[in-house]
Structure 1
Amino acid sequence: MLIAVLYQKNNKALIELLKQTKTQALNSRTRENLDAVIDDLKAFSGSYQFNMKAYWIAFAVFLLATAALTYWDWSQWQRFQQSTWIILAVGSVLTLVAGITAFYPGRLMAKASHALLQRDGLLDNDLSPAVFESRAASNEFQQRFSDFNRGNYKREIRALYDGSYSGSEYSFQYQYYHFHYVDERIVTETYTDSKGEVRTRRKKVYDHYDRYGLILPFGLLRNVAVVGFSLPGAGKATYKPASNRFNKEFKVVAASELEAAKAMKPTVVIAFEEFSEVLSQVNFEVNDAGDLCLSFADKDLIATTKEAKICDYEAFIEALDGEQEFAKLKASLDFIHYVMTKLDSNF
């Protein structure tokens, strides 16, 4: 209803299209779903460009008029009076409404464009959203891997995707996740009260953190972790390879020194050294069931790098037509596959 009042003709129609496009793109689970969204976009008969000149002019006029009238009313008495506050309040509301009205379409254009490109990138890389409940998924992963034993106040899975990988020797299904956790701590601070006396008080502070990772069946190891970031309960290193570079970045924790030595072949050690330049704060944890959790701090593993917008229609369609490659995701999966091939002969 508000859109019908504030926007007219092509602006109104384009806003409705973009809202629909964004929602449908986010809900698309298959290439067919996304192609249907793109077909609707291509079928739009109006212009893909907003005409927002009048809206920005209205915003500027309200802003300047509010400032001028407020100053004029204040100058009559050299103080704020009831009429001054009324002018300021009404003018501020009108200015805010005009500003939001002028800003909203561009913001919606950017979000709808990003949603389409992001979903296109996910499908290009064989990724689809998984159905999950945030707390339940977090609790399940916590039971399986030490890397999820974080957050004394809150922990949740914020995103989960199912993917598949086909290599020259191994193919596997995997999940990509975004893990958010919160630590609660008590701090003591000093303050001055209304009487000018210095006092102390304790308050709770909440620190928010994010980890990301890949989970998949590994099968070639059991209870082995290569730790490049704090891993709760990991303990001291079981084995140190001869490489100083590796030992500066990682420690190896396993059931025994023999198991660790069998896992950390020279070629595997080199692979970890090189992979530490791809992702940051890497942990490579294989649990007692032989499942791998490769966790890290990088948030852009599955983020589209394309920045085209629907308003630049030809460039945007060209961006959709091309294949997107998530470079860090590919490097991570290739790394896992390489380690698999090198460990295959050990067990």
Structure 2
Amino acid sequence: MSHNSQVKANIEQIKADVEAATSQDHLMNVIDSVQHHTGPLDYNDQLPTALMWVLFAITAVGMMMNYMIGGNYSAIGAVMYNAMHYSAIWVPGGIAFLVSQKFSKQGKLPMLKPPLDRPWVVPAMIGVAVGLLAFVPMWFQGYWFLVANLTIMITNQGQFYYPLEITAVTLILAALLYYWLRKRKYWRNPVSDRIHMRDILLNNNLTEQKVKPESKARELESKFREFDRGNHRREIQAMYSGEYQGEVHQFAFQLYHFHYVDKRTETYQDSEGNTKTRTRYDHFDRYGVLLNFPFAKSVSLDSDPRISFPGKKYTTASNAFNRMFKVRTRDEMQAARLLSPAVVEALSEFGDDFTRPVIEIIGNSDTCIAFEDKDLLSLRRRFGLDKPDAFKEEIAGHAKLEKLDALLATIHNLMRLSDNNFA
């Protein structure tokens, strides 16, 4: 087996071990296995890397040649022309960023305090500072003197020339090769993300559910109007199940990530003033929890103007609540029993904490609570497999999902307030 084939097999085994982990200790063992792995874990990509840099060099020379020659350009050509025109800013700045990022990964650059304690922040600041030097006349003139003379020398006084179309092709090939090589070189990052996510799920007693994205969306759409969004595509991109044990009530629930796409056609004018049409795809995401709320049925509350629910309009005595939520119900008595003053107060607090919330309780009391907040399961990962000791220490801690805990506590409180035996 070749070196790269062995690396691929080792990485696939590590990924399988992550998915098979059933406890935090198992995840720690996976990190240990990577740290002390006896086999190769890094690809030998010297040849494709050399090819990538050759393609980038051909692209750079081609862009400079066509920039110096000038002429009429297509839309793509105009983009490349402008890129070269402002290269005195982004080329030195980009080089400074890449060099600084390398030093940052080696721990040779200081880290800023939160929330700016990201490894790319200081290199980005250095890159911007170097890029701004282009506004210094001597720097600007020196840059173009160097670039122009290098181009003349490489092209043998302009004798060697290739058109912009070839330059565009080499740029695309170089970019694709760069993406592929970067993905192979930094394979530890997505695996670290997955270990971190698995740790979050295990710490919070959540189980990941495998679903068919589009069919699951259709299934939920058949029950809840909340999922009747998007005229092009709808899919459940993630789903997790869990159980909440409160002082009074316990309930099973499912968390989900719903993605939908709206397709629309718009008209625009091109650079020559001609009216044309183009298709746009607008992507949206909603998140939420599914459960059974046995104390109400056929009631909906929404603060999202992009969706409407059937039924009679119902208003409460709270003007603030009425401004926040539109209430629809088939039976006004159901809404009246649910929306007691205490429940109205609790729901008002919920509405303040979430973006465009919707609560939809259908006839069998199955309930969908939806919103646009995407941070229910998000916890920032500080370390990864490139720093295994620090990563193990991070994984060993308890990954507390405060927003999810608050949401589930709110649901439990609503149940308690709605249950006549405990209200």
TM-score, normalised on structure 2?
Answer: 0.66
Q: Structure 1 regions of 5+ residues with no counterpart?
A: 6-11
**Residue 70 of structure 1, CA deviation:** 5.1
1:44 to 37, 51, 63: 37
Alignment pair present for 1:232 and 2:307:
yes
Q: How do 1:233-312 residues align onto structure 2 when only pairs under 5 Å count?
A: 233-235=308-310, 238-312=313-387
Whole-Å separation in 2 of the counterparts to 1:309 and 1:260? 50
2:256 is matched with which residue?
177
Whole-Å separation in 1 of the counterparts to 2:348 and 2:315? 14
Identity of aligned residues (%): 30
1:21 to 11, 14, 22: 14
1:8 is matched with which residue?
none
Whole-Å separation in 1 of the counterparts to 2:175 and 2:233? 40
The residue matched to 2:336 in structure 1 has which SS?
A: helix
Whole-Å separation in 2 of the counterparts to 1:269 and 1:99? 52
**2:31, 2:385 within 8 Å by CA — same for their partners in 1?**
no
2:292 is matched with which residue?
217
Alignment pair present for 1:322 and 2:397:
yes
**Residue 341 of structure 1, CA deviation:** 0.5
Whole-Å separation in 2 of the counterparts to 1:218 and 1:147? 16
Whole-Å separation in 1 of the counterparts to 2:172 and 2:219? 50
Q: Against the structure 1 CA distance between its residues 155 and 94, is the aligned structure 2 distance closer, same or farther, given a 3 Å change threshold? A: closer
**1:213, 1:295 within 8 Å by CA — same for their partners in 2?**
yes
- Give the aligned length: 330
1:4 is matched with which residue?
4
Whole-Å separation in 2 of the counterparts to 1:200 and 1:74? 41
1:30 to 19, 22, 31: 22
- Higher mean Cα deviation, 336-345 or 242-251? 242-251
**Residue 321 of structure 1, CA deviation:** 1.0
Q: Which amino acid aligns with 1:130?
A: Q
Q: Which amino acid aligns with 1:253?
A: R
Q: Structure 2 regions of 5+ residues with no counterpart?
A: 62-146
Q: Which amino acid aligns with 2:325?
A: F
Q: Which amino acid aligns with 1:172?
A: F
Per-residue deviation, residues 175-197 of structure 1 (Å, max 9, x unmatched): 111111112223233346xxx6x
4+ residue stretches of structure 1 with deviation over 4 A? 15-19, 32-36, 45-48, 57-71, 84-101
1:168 to 231, 247, 267: 247
Q: How do 1:15-164 residues align onto structure 2 when only pairs under 5 Å count?
A: 17-18=10-11, 20-25=13-18, 27-28=19-20, 30-31=22-23, 34=27, 37-38=30-31, 40-41=33-34, 43-44=36-37, 71-74=152-155, 76-77=157-158, 80-81=161-162, 101=181, 103-104=182-183, 107-164=186-243
The residue matched to 1:77 in structure 2 has which SS?
A: coil
Q: Against the structure 1 CA distance between its residues 200 and 324, is the aligned structure 2 distance closer, same or farther, given a 3 Å change threshold? A: same
Whole-Å separation in 1 of the counterparts to 2:279 and 2:226? 25
Cα RMSD over matched residues?
A: 4.0
Q: Against the structure 1 CA distance between its residues 95 and 59, is the aligned structure 2 distance closer, same or farther, given a 3 Å change threshold? A: farther
Q: Against the structure 1 CA distance between its residues 237 and 79, is the aligned structure 2 distance closer, same or farther, given a 3 Å change threshold? A: farther
Q: Which amino acid aligns with 2:223?
A: R
**2:288, 2:371 within 8 Å by CA — same for their partners in 1?**
yes
Whole-Å separation in 1 of the counterparts to 2:418 and 2:33? 49
